[in-house]
A and B are shown apart, each in its own frame.
Chain A
């Protein structure tokens, strides 16, 4: 059994189809998606309830965005593994996310191999912690 198969993750994105397709992909790759949400508030609520190993979090969402979720998840668990996914390439966003201790930043559209490598690295981290 690979380390991936021990992982519980949640996926948060305001685009319903993206959540569904990404979830399908993760599950086919052996990762268990235990929760799905559609805004930052969902993300915080699901994190509190489910304590997943990794959070895949979209940055740009209406009302409660990814910054809101990241900030509040880090308040619950400063060591939470939160992978931020965004189409915003601005340096300001990158610096802001780094300052907020995002675990990783992935730019849309991301490469499949890239996401799998990140998952494998974080799986090791999750096992060690």
Chain B
């Protein structure tokens, strides 16, 4: 078996070299494609390296200062807005659900498990991250911790009212299972393993690569009938993610893995572009899970509050 692992690694090296040269060929024959990729990378770097000083803006500011005070005031407002935006999370995610034939399907599905049984989550390539960051991934799955956030901060209600948020899926799913009777059992136990093999119901693949379309996370579920059979989550460019970004991405992609689609509320964890300063599992995410496992809706998160 040891020999097989070594040969697998050698094989991957050969294949990656071949892929690399094929991609280079493609890039050389399509300069427009290359230009688009370069631009995508620039945008991606802007998102993931917010600490980089906006050099051009500083240069512009210098000339604007000399030229006119009104222009300076206008520019200062713009810069403030940018800085504020950079303090927030800005991560993008995509998801796909396919049947066994590989056709993409629109309806969202759910796990149909034996009550009380656990879903196995396999973290592949865990050696790419240090123990603290692996713990962050595990916490996002297994934590029961909650926090209370004032609705005024999340634009969900007046000051003084508040909502409970979960910091991990186990706590939130157990809560959903207790609060709502559902036709199908809501999975709320997870066994986490770290293996190079493809075992597990949910695979979290940590990748050093950057997605060429600029996505930070990608979830793909394979379904048969109404049932999710296996889900693969890819977290891109893991080495350049902050702890908060990593936690947010795992929480978001695990939402897809449980069957949720994107949220209609831009400030929600399940929004397609995550910009919220409070990226935690909300009450409306929990309600959507309960509805999905009750066979009522197709998994879209609609936040009324």
Contacts and interface: CB of A to CB of B under 8 A. Distances in A.
A108 B124 CA distance: 22
A108 B198 contact: no
A15 B101 contact: no
B16 to A, nearest CB: 6
B172 to A, nearest CB: 28
B19 to A, nearest CB: 5
Given A15-B198, A50-B101, A109 B10 contact: yes
Interface stretch (A17-25, A75-83, A91-99, A119-127): A17-25
Interface residues of A, number: 29
Contacts of B16: 21
Nearest to A45: B100
Contacts of A19: 198
A87 B198 CA distance: 18
A125 B72 CA distance: 72
Contact of A49 (B11, B13, B23, B100): B100
Contact of A14 (B124, B198, B203): B198
A112 interface: yes
A24 B19 contact: yes
B15 A112 contact: yes
Contact of B124 (A16, A46, A110): A16
B199 A108 contact: no
Contacts of B15: 21-22, 24-25, 112
Interface string B215-258: 00000000000000000000000000000000000000000000
Interface of A: 13-22, 24-25, 28-29, 34-35, 38, 46, 49-50, 60, 62, 87-88, 108-112
What 3 A-B pairs are tightest by C-beta distance, nearest first? A38-B198, A87-B7, A16-B198
